[in-house]
């Protein structure tokens, strides 16, 4: 291509992508572009835009956050976003076990993005819930890689069915928020492939996202943004991903090295002349021309896909979107306890409402996913409408306000005495869990625990509605009649809770993660999140139910737990073949009958279990799930298909998926704890002779036998094939030190003051109550200021000042101007 006429990339040419591939077409455009234009593509145009090649009809790309709903920051609003529909958090949506529902939410989100002029949505996040303390778990689907991958793929397909792109994130090993910029996730090869890479592989191959976002953290000592093995060899090579890999915002530590290693797009792009550094790096031999060309082409694939879009911008009705948000919450909220069929209620007569969250709902998480809802309802108002009279209400606990907790508790007790039924709203306050930092524990605020105990002494007819981004300890479970786990249900959560309590809809949510009795029961509890910048994943493949079911550890609620107002019966489990060989597949079907007089939705879970093995297999693993809607008395046959790989494990000795063969059980389960139906199948061994586990794997084999996990750092490092090195805290601050860590120094105090003034409102500064955005900012490392366009000399100056080396700091500060 040459000359302005030929440089016009026509719709006809774009359509030819069907014959070759969009990436091939993008490579042709990139090859014809000048070096400066291509280099400018490799970093963002500010915070939310991506450039394109001039003199083509390919337009810029606009990206925005979207895990819980579209978040487009308004200019000059101090981070406040435009109004958009706030859907249930992915942590709740996953409890639907419904690819259909997830796809519908993705489609509606894509339509809203289209209407708002957003081209690429920065969602979904499918990181594994390794530990329930992770502050960002509300953005993720599950502890199970198969479930997370399948739901992620459905979400991507839904968004992209509208002509808007999806961004799969955060690739990968981002399973904690503590020191997420600098911590290395130390993971053994088997866990890497079976647990942490698997959901991304499923989502990439089945969902085909426009883009993939790499995570902040390191994996086995290598920064993900510069991890050429996983970005180039695995993601782009083995999985054939054809789009761009973008950095998380500020994740690129060394942009030149990152571009050479497979990261295509540095975000954000606050340094307007970054292209000069890229071109200089090419001249100096630090960056190959082929790397620039390939990254430019991959970035252009988004612009080409945008040019093919035909959907009109008024393709969404916010009323319909909110109705879907309500439906999604209804199908996902989990009825965890219902003693003697206490629920549903006929009406709210002789019912009181206790709990500040009934009027100040906790409906979403904090951080980059925070949505400005279009029509947020309070449960108190929703419940009030049909009654046409005031419902008795008591705040019950302070919830961060300037109240006397003891007085509030007494008022709630008196209210409970004079009413037959109590609906109590409890949960974690927003400052307890957020992107940017981890939860300190799994405990609810003590004032809430004491409230339940006090009220239950005078009235045990209590329904607790629980709002949190993940599991919490529930020491009062025996003192209440019913429990609804609502997670973070979105702006229509109150309507959904009302429908479930009154029986307008039968609950059908099933927990997509295990709820432990105590935090100490979590397999990684004694070594999470790591001492400083090394997080050893010593539990290996035994994450979530893979641990609890294998060692028969009692839990509060198992993976898959969820009650209904109806009665569902499973029967006639049929496996299409009694034997299965390499490359083959087998059909499985089961009859599901609604034996009640109400319509029910049922999530059917299929697991496989190895009867005997010598390679440390979990007791059972999820390999299929489908939801089915049943009329009263109706029976439906639910069909699955199992592949040979579904019976395999990853052999780190052979560096490949293998199957030792033998007898397996195919199981239909209500929860991961037990099967309700089971059938046997004989699976052939892989062609090769599978060597036994290395002697370093002994602790994991004995764990299976003895029922506990106790692996030292030395044993784990040996299992991973690495030399054990004890971690020490540096005696000086460096660029990886956080603003919170240097906040006691003079320069740290100044930075803290600036952050407070720029992030906290006058009311927040006056109350002394920090917002989640402030806590996120303070948890950032010093080097994160690169994302705001500041150079290395300023970073060095801050480090010198923090260490008391003022003369060096002043020199660097002057040099930075």
Q: Can you tell me the distance from the alpha carbon of 417 to that of 31, in angstroms, rounded to the nearest whole number? A: 77
Nearest CA to 123 out of 87, 152, 148, 96 is that of 152
Block residue for tokens 């948000």: 325
The residue to which tokens 């999820």 are assigned: 622
Q: Are 438 and 135 in contact (CB under 8 A)?
A: yes
Could you tell me the end-to-end alpha-carbon distance of the chain, in angstroms, rounded to an integer?
A: 42
Q: Reading across the β-sheet that carries 421-427, which strands appear in turn?
A: 334-338, 482-485, 462-467, 421-427, 351-354, 393-394
CA distances from 700 to 544, 624, 711 (A): 15, 26, 8
- Identify whether the C-beta of residue 142 lies closer than 8 Å to the C-beta of residue 130: no
Distance, in Å, from the CA atom of 533 to the CA atom of 771, rounded to the nearest integer, reads 25
Distance CA 254, CA 621 (A): 39
Provide φ and ψ at 154, rounded to 5°.
-65, -40
Helices 379-387, 493-501: axis angle to 10 degrees equals: 50
Q: Is 483 exposed, middle or buried (0-12, 13-18, 19+ CB in 10 A)?
A: buried
Q: How far apart are alpha carbons 738 and 533 in whole angstroms?
A: 12
Sorted by sequence, the CB contacts under 8 Å of residue 319 that are 6+ apart come out as none
Rounded to 10 degrees, the C-alpha dihedral 747/752/755/761 comes to -150
User: Which region holds residue 240: left if phi is over 0, alpha if psi is between -120 and 50, else beta?
Assistant: left
Reading phi first (left if > 0) and then psi (alpha if -120 to 50, else beta), residue 480 is in beta
Residue 121: helix, strand or coil by DSSP? strand
Task: Quote the CA–CA distance of 275 and 347 in Å, as a whole number.
Answer: 65
| Catalytic one of 119, 144, 188, 248 | 248
Q: Is 792 a catalytic residue?
A: no
Q: Which helix (DSSP H) or strand (DSSP E) does residue 62 occupy?
A: strand 61-65
Return d(Cα 406, Cα 417) in angstroms, integer.
17
> What string of H, E and C letters represents the secondary structure of 400-443?
CCCCCHHHHHHHHHHHHHCCCEEEEEEECCHHHCECCECCCCCC
Q: What is the Cα–Cα distance from 474 to 516, expressed in whole angstroms?
A: 10
Around 588, how many Cα atoms within 13 Å sit in the side-chain half-sphere? 29
**Residues near 471 by beta carbon (within 8 Å), at least 6 away in sequence:** 132, 442, 513, 514, 515, 516, 556
Place of tokens 């150079």: 791
Closest of 622, 351, 674 to residue 512, by C-alpha? 622
Helices 493-501/318-330 angle, 10° precision: 50
663 vs 669: CA distance, rounded Å: 19
Q: Tokens standing for 511?
A: 């927990």
Single out the residue of 774, 780, 582, 609 nearest to residue 681, CA to CA: 609
- The pair of structure tokens assigned to 437 is 């930092």
Q: Report CA 46 to chain centroid distance, whole Å.
A: 26
Report the catalytic residues: 248
């Amino acid at each position: 291509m040459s000359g302005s006429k030929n440089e016009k990339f026509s719709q006809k040419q774009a359509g030819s992508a069907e014959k070759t591939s969009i990436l091939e077409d993008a490579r042709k455009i990139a090859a014809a572009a000048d070096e400066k234009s291509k280099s400018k593509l490799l970093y963002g145009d500010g915070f939310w835009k991506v450039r394109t090649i001039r003199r083509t009809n390919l337009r810029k790309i606009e990206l925005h956050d979207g895990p819980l709903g579209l978040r487009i920051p308004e200019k000059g609003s101090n981070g406040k976003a435009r109004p958009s529909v706030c859907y249930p958090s992915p942590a709740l949506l996953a409890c639907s076990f419904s690819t259909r529902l997830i796809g519908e939410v993705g489609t509606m989100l894509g339509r809203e993005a289209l209407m708002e002029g957003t081209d690429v949505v920065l969602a979904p996040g499918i990181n594994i819930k390794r530990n329930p303390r992770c502050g960002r778990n509300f953005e993720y689907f599950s502890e199970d890689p198969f479930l997370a991958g399948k739901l992620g793929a459905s979400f991507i397909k839904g968004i992209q069915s509208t002509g808007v792109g999806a961004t799969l994130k955060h690739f990968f090993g981002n399973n904690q928020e503590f020191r997420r910029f600098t911590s290395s996730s130390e993971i053994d090869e088997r866990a890497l492939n079976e647990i942490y890479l698997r959901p991304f592989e499923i989502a990439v191959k089945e969902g085909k996202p426009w883009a993939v976002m790499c995570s902040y953290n390191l994996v086995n000592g290598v920064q993900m943004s510069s991890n050429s093995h996983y970005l180039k060899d695995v993601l782009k090579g083995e999985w054939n991903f054809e789009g761009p890999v973008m950095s998380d915002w500020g994740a690129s530590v060394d942009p030149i090295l990152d571009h050479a290693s497979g990261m295509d797009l540095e975000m954000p792009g606050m340094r307007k002349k970054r292209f000069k550094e890229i071109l200089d790096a090419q001249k100096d031999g630090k960056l190959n021309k082929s790397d620039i060309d390939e990254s430019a082409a991959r970035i252009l694939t988004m612009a080409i896909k945008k040019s093919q879009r035909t959907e009109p911008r008024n393709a969404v009705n916010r009323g319909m979107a909110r109705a879907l948000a309500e439906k999604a919450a209804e199908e996902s909220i989990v009825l965890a306890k219902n003693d003697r069929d206490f629920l549903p209620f006929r009406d709210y007569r002789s019912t009181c409402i206790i709990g500040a969250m009934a009027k100040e709902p906790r409906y979403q998480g904090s951080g980059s996913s925070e949505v400005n809802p279009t029509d947020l309802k309070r449960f108190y108002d929703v419940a009030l409408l049909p009654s046409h009279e005031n419902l008795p209400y008591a705040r019950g606990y302070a919830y961060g306000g300037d109240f006397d907790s003891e007085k509030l508790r007494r008022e709630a007790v008196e209210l409970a005495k004079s009413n037959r039924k109590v609906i109590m709203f409890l949960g974690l306050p927003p400052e307890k869990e957020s992107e940017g930092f981890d939860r300190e524990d799994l405990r609810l605020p003590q004032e809430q625990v004491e409230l339940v105990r006090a009220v239950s002494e005078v009235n045990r007819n209590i329904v607790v509605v629980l709002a949190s981004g993940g599991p919490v300890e529930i020491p009062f479970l025996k003192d209440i009649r019913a429990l609804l786990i609502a997670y973070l249900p979105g702006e229509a959560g109150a309507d959904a809770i009302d429908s479930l309590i009154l029986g307008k809809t039968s609950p059908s949510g099933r927990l997509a993660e295990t709820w432990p009795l105590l935090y100490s029961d979590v397999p990684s509890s004694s070594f999470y999140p790591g001492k400083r910048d090394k997080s050893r994943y010593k539990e290996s493949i035994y994450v979530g139910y893979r641990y609890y079911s294998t060692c028969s550890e009692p839990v509060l609620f198992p993976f898959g737990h969820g009650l209904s107002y109806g009665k569902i019966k499973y029967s006639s489990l049929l496996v299409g073949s009694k034997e299965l060989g390499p490359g083959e597949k087998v059909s499985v079907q089961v009859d599901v009958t609604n034996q009640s007089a109400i319509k029910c939705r049922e999530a059917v879970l299929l697991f496989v279990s190895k009867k005997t093995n010598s390679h440390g297999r979990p007791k059972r693993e999820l390999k299929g799930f489908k939801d089915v809607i049943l009329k009263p008395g109706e029976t439906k046959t639910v069909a699955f298909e199992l592949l040979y790989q579904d019976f395999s494990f990853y052999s780190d000795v052979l560096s490949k998926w293998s199957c030792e063969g033998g007898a397996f059980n195919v199981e239909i389960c209500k929860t991961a704890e037990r099967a309700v139906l089971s059938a046997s199948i004989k699976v052939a061994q892989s062609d090769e002779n599978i060597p036994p586990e290395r002697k370093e794997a002994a602790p994991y084999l004995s764990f299976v036998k003895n029922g506990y996990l106790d692996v030292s750092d030395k044993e784990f490092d040996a299992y991973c094939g690495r030399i054990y090195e004890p971690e020490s805290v540096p005696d000086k601050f460096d660029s990886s030190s956080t603003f919170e860590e240097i906040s006691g120094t003079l320069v740290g105090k100044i930075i803290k003051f600036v952050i407070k003034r720029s992030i906290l409102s006058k009311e927040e500064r006056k109350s002394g109550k920090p917002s989640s955005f402030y806590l996120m900012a303070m948890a950032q490392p010093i080097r994160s200021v690169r994302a705001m366009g500041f150079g290395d000399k300023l970073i060095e100056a801050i480090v010198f000042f923090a260490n008391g080396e003022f003369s060096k700091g002043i020199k660097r500060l002057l040099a930075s101007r």
